[in-house]
Amino acid sequence: CPWGVPQLNQEKNKMVKCDFCVDRVDNGLKPVCVTKCTTQALRFVTLTRF
């Protein structure tokens, strides 16, 4: 994954993966994977729009 997901949290000895960029979405932004997808294969829509 070019964004380093998933990653090993060595302190907890557990894998950490996508959190859906909840902090970005809460601020009205799209997840990073959607904005960086060069082929535009990923889309982000709200449940109300879906």
- Confirm if 42 and 33 have CB atoms less than 8 A apart: yes
25-39 per-position pLDDT tens digit: 999 999 988 998 889
1-20 per-position pLDDT tens digit: 666 778 888 999 998 888 88
The residue extents of the domains of the chain are 19-50
- pLDDT of residue 22 exceeding 70, the answer is yes
* Secondary structure letter of residue 14 according to DSSP: E
- Confirm if 7 and 13 have CB atoms less than 8 A apart: no
Give the pLDDT score at 17.
Answer: 85
Give the pLDDT score at 46.
Answer: 80
